[in-house]
Amino acid sequence: MSQGSYLQLTTGELGKRAKNAVDMLADCTVCAQYCRVNRLKGELGLCQGGRNAVVSSYGPHFGEEAPLVGSRGSGTIFFAFCNLKCVFCQNCDISQYGYGDEVSARELAEMMLELQEGGCHNINLVSPSHFAPQFLEALVVAVDMGLTIPIVYNTGGYDTPATLDLLEGIIDIYMPDIKFADDDAGRKYSGAAGYYTVTRQAVKKMHNQVGDLVIDERGIATRGLLVRHLVMPGNLARTEKIMEFIAEEISKDTFVNVMDQYYPAYKAFDHPELNKRISRKEYSAAVQAAREAGLTRLNGG
């Protein structure tokens, strides 16, 4: 079984990273929303996350990309709330309404250990951007309890350089979802000012930390970058621009999942341009755009 890169850091270094991250909560700059509320004193920003993490559910998941799932599943931990406000969110009960339970660092650590003991190939943190400090606190405890498997950071991409610096050498697999190649669309549909500008910088930093996706002889991903992109109706996301960015500024060997599962959800019905499914033609065009950009490691086409 592959081991997480965080095992190469001393307990003292992990503790220092966790403390520095928690300190950011006092004037919250944990994600790119930069709300600057004092979450340590109960103030809430856009994400609605407080001092402790809130977990909706956790367990082995077999619906992720094949290199993450393997034969025993990806050990997913679904965090409640989100630092994005996507009007088309298909998990709005979790991300927007905050369905879940508040957990301590030890409780979160115990979840990670339970997933490892169940045979999961990795710990998959789903929507972790607003709870990165709480994850780091829990990791210190989990390592002391025997955690060894790789960590996957499954994010909407609206992450800050400072937080990613604290995660360097800890996260084994970054899995950002690049939603839009347009800042205006990111603001309108995801409530994220400068979304594409921020996400481009974040994905570059992620790749600099972990490189292209490495898959072992079992077909299991052990380290690297895996990019997701959800095809939107009417090409609102400007897919071709995203694929060109990945190929030209990240790597043509980037593992990319071009996803076809868009359907109207949450508040998408209030936007006529979002209130429809994508066509087979639109999805084929998105895959073709990836190929024309020079990308060959495609999961979905």
Residue 182: which of 245, 126, 95 has the closest Cα? 245
Q: What is the pLDDT of residue 300?
A: 53
**What Å distances lie between residue 105 and 131, 133, 186, CA to CA?**
11, 10, 32
Residue 288: which of 237, 244, 234 has the closest Cα? 244
Tell me whether strands 173-176 and 151-155 are parallel, antiparallel or unpaired: parallel
Alpha-carbon gap, residue 95 to 81, rounded angstroms: 4
Alpha-carbon gap, residue 33 to 131, rounded angstroms: 13
pLDDT tens-digit readout, 227-262: 999 999 999 999 999 999 999 999 999 999 999 999
Write down the pTM of the prediction.
0.97
Tokens 């790119």, residue located:
32
Q: 226 pLDDT band (50/70/90 cuts)? A: very high
> Helices (H), strands (E): how many in the chain?
10, 9
Terminal alpha carbon distance of the chain: 29
